[in-house]
Amino acid sequence: MNRRSFAQAVGSAAILSALSKASPRSESESASAGKIMAVAAHPGDGLFTMGALLAQQAGRGGAAVLVNLSLGERGAPKNTPVKLYGEMQRTATEKAARLLGIDAVFLDYPDGQIPCNEESALRVCDAIRGHKPDIVVTHWKGSWHKDHRNCHRIVRDAVFFAGLETLERSRAAHSVSKVFYADNWEDADRFVADTYIDVDPVYEKWLRACDFYPMWRGQTGFFRYNDYYGSLSVMRGCLSGFKHAVALMTDGSQRAQRLQLL
């Protein structure tokens, strides 16, 4: 088995199996794409780390939605009012979503003050029940950023609530098949990539979508998001045998193998 075949078999099998429904014909002939939901603390986190994955899913005939817990408005550069910058973030996200063929949802919690409580988890639960994703992707918990850590915990609770049949909400219960964590420079503590997705078919479109954000071009601070995430997709591609790839981390509960024989 060559490197590309190995990466396809090991790296992306978890996502493809969860997003495909096989018929009596071969899986390659009959697989139909499902839906991915990405939940991010801030729009930039969503597009830069999960946007290519969402675009890839939409491009293969599936569906994708990005849920933004805040607008990331407090990342405003000097001389830009916070409220105005929040609206700029919303506009950038709407433009990016249209370009990538995905949906965007905004919960509008204050940036830097995303609450980790039952109310926020139930709001994300309602989004999960409404959109019915097969897979949810969000922040890894190993972050120095308070909003990112809270987002991780919110999503874990929301996935639990969403699948709880006895929890009455406005929409019926929905169980998510798999949860993955995104490769974010702010969430790197103990992040271990174990799943690689080939995003080369949508790479250029994803770059154009990211370019709607001023922070992508380095206008809001010191960090060179465009250089980092563009280079990261190349590096992850080198490790997986693709030209450009997105790396994810599997939720621990999904790593167990239950075999009768090895």
- pLDDT confidence of 15, banded at 50, 70, 90? low
Q: Is 25 part of any domain?
A: no
Query: Tokens 């995430």 belong to which residue?
Result: 229
Q: Is the pLDDT of residue 22 over 60?
A: no
The verdict on residue 209 lying in a domain is yes
Instruction: Identify the three-state secondary structure at position 197.
Output: strand
* Nearest one of 191, 182, 194 to 229, comparing CA atoms: 182
Confirm whether 261 is domain-assigned.
Answer: no
Q: What is the pLDDT of residue 259?
A: 77
| Domain that residue 73 falls in | 3-13+34-251
C-alpha span between 119 and 122 (Å, rounded): 5
Asked if 130 and 171 touch (Cβ cutoff 8 Å), the reply is: yes
Contact between residue 40 and residue 66 where contact means Cβ atoms under 8 Å apart: yes
Position 245 in a domain: yes
**Would you say residue 226 lies in a domain?**
yes
Whether the model clears a pTM of 0.85, i.e. scores above it, the answer is yes
Residue 141, judged by CB atoms within 10 A of its CB (0-12, 13-18, 19+), counts as: middle
Q: Is the pLDDT of residue 25 over 90?
A: no
- Each residue's pLDDT tens digit, 143-171: 999 999 999 999 999 999 999 999 999 99
The answer as to whether 260 is a domain residue is: no
Helices H, strands E: what count in the chain?
A: 9, 7
190-224 per-position pLDDT tens digit: 999 999 999 999 999 999 999 999 999 887 777 99
Report how far residue 54's alpha carbon sits from residue 133's, in angstroms, rounded to the nearest whole number.
12
Count of alpha carbons within 13 angstroms of residue 258, beta-carbon side: 2
Quick check: 11 pLDDT over 70?
no
169 touches 122 (CB < 8 A): yes
116 versus 23: which is more confidently predicted?
116
251: pLDDT strictly greater than 90: yes
- What is residue 32's DSSP assignment? -
Categorize the per-residue pLDDT at 9 as very low, low, confident or very high, splitting at 50, 70 and 90: very low
Q: Does 237 map to a domain?
A: yes
- Tally of structural domains, the chain: 1
Could you tell me if residue 259 is inside a domain? no
Band of pLDDT at residue 17, cut at 50, 70 and 90: very low
Binned at pLDDT 50, 70 and 90, residue 257 comes out as confident
Domain harbouring 199, CATH code: 3.40.50.10320
